[in-house]
A and B are shown apart, each in its own frame.
Chain A
Amino acid sequence: NAGVMQNPRHLVRRRGQEARLRCSPMKGHSHVYWYRQLPEEGLKFMVYLQKENIIDESGMPKERFSAEFPKEGPSILRIQQVVRGDSAAYFCASSPQSTGMNSPLHFGNGTRLTVT
């Protein structure tokens, strides 16, 4: 029973390039959350998706960032024209229900993005 799978584990991009981060939730989970973790900070909520729908993107910058969770395939967090400040660990988490139902999140191992 595979857990939440994220890839790549490490991603290096030059300023101005695009970064694509992938997340496959646990089997049977239809709720996906993306978080960003900066050094010495906690996890910051970015976006919450269900299959084919963005439910809450209030934590995601309006420009350059987008997320999707298609009917088939993994959830994708896309960062266009990356800047150095985008360097961080990006974690994906999934749950069988929304967190409002008091369902713990299951996290992936994260993607560490470095912008040079």
Chain B
Amino acid sequence: EDKVVQSPLSLVVHEGDTVTLNCSYEVTNFRSLLWYKQEKKAPTFLFMLTSSGIEKKSGRLSSILDKKELFSILNITATQTGDSAVYLCAVGVNNNDMRFGAGTRLTVKP
């Protein structure tokens, strides 16, 4: 059975801290790994990773994939209160299906 496991489930930090969110997976037919940020509204797309070892960056966020060890990390540096959200990891497993993790709930305190 395909599995996507995110850790930690929740995290509380203070503004300015750096956080690392983890996503490990066991799936057949891996195609891609995606990170989404979900606040009260819809999940918004952050990154798509298909190749190992290539870091993707967007401002204070970065992510990397390790296809040998079957995990990805999402880093957020200099966190701000606006980073508070649930971060979802999703793995594309075939032509039309994705498996989502349960998410990591990040709370950034002022």
Contact = CB atoms under 8 A, between A and B. Distances in A.
Interface string A42-70: 11110010000001101000000000000
B94 interface: yes
Contacts of A102: 31-32, 48, 50, 92
Interface residues of A, number: 27
Nearest to B5: A42
Contact of B96 (A42, A44, A55, A106): A55
A41 interface: yes
Contacts of B94: 100
A4 B42 contact: yes
Contacts of A34: none
Contacts of B6: 42
A42 B43 contact: no
Interface in B57-110: 88, 90, 92, 94-103
Contacts of B50: 102
Interface in A45-103: 45, 48, 55-56, 58, 91, 98-100, 102
A45 B102 contact: no
20 contacts: A31-B96, A42-B88, A42-B101, A43-B90, A43-B100, A44-B100, A45-B97, A56-B96, A56-B97, A99-B95, A99-B96, A100-B95, A100-B96, A102-B48, A104-B45, A105-B45, A105-B98, A107-B42, A109-B42, A110-B42
Nearest to B98: A99
B24 to A, nearest CB: 14
Contact of A107 (B32, B44, B95, B102): B44
Specify which of A55, A98, A104, A110 lies most central, judged by the most chain B CB atoms within 10 Å of its CB: A104
Given A102-B92, A110-B42, 17 more contacts: A31-B96, A42-B4, A42-B101, A45-B97, A56-B96, A56-B97, A91-B43, A99-B92, A99-B96, A99-B97, A100-B31, A100-B96, A102-B31, A104-B45, A104-B48, A105-B45, A109-B41
Contacts of B90: 43
